[in-house]
Amino acid sequence: MTTGDPGMDSEFLKWLATLGVGGILAAVIFTFYRKDIQQFTVLWQTTSTQLMEVIKDNTASNTKLVTLLENQERNALRKSDLEELVRRRGQDYLPSPRST
C-alpha cells in the first residue's frame, strides 16, 4: 500500500492510522484476500475454458468413433453369412453322386 495508489489518499491513510495495528493488519489481509480472489477467478476461467475445449474435442472424437463403428457394422459380414457362404462353397466342390 503506497500513497501512489489511486485509492490511497491521505484522508484514507489518516483514517487507517486511527484504527491502530489491528486496522492496518485487517486492511493488509483484505488487500491480499482481494488479490487472491482475483487470481483464483482468472485461474478458474482459464481452467473452465480448457475443460470446455477438452469436452468439445472428446465429443467430436466420440461422434467420429460411433460413426466409424456404425459404418463398420453395416459393411461387416455376419458370422452366419460366412457360415452360409462356406456351406454353399462346400456343396459346389462335393463330388456329385454317380449312379452305377
**Residue-wise pLDDT tens digits, 25-47:** 888 899 999 999 999 999 999 99
What integer pLDDT is reported at residue 92 of this predicted model? 67
Burial (Cβ within 10 Å: 0-12, 13-18, ≥19) of residue 28: exposed
**Residue-wise pLDDT tens digits, 43-57:** 999 999 999 999 999
In a domain, 2, yes or no: no
In a domain, 24, yes or no: yes
In a domain, 1, yes or no: no
**Residue-wise pLDDT tens digits, 59-73:** 999 999 999 988 887
**Residue-wise pLDDT tens digits, 76-90:** 767 777 788 888 877
In a domain, 100, yes or no: no
- Say what the pTM is: 0.48
In a domain, 23, yes or no: yes
In a domain, 55, yes or no: yes
In a domain, 5, yes or no: no
pLDDT at 8 over 70: no
Please report where in the chains the cell 459404418 appears, as a residue. 71
Q: What is the C-alpha to C-alpha distance for residues 83 and 100, in angstroms, rounded to an integer? A: 33
In a domain, 65, yes or no: yes
**Full residue range of the structural domain in which residue 75 is found:** 10-92
Number of folded domains that form the chain = 1
What integer pLDDT is reported at residue 61 of this predicted model? 95
Residue 5 DSSP one-character state: S
Q: How confident is the model at residue 97 (pLDDT cuts 50, 70, 90)?
A: low
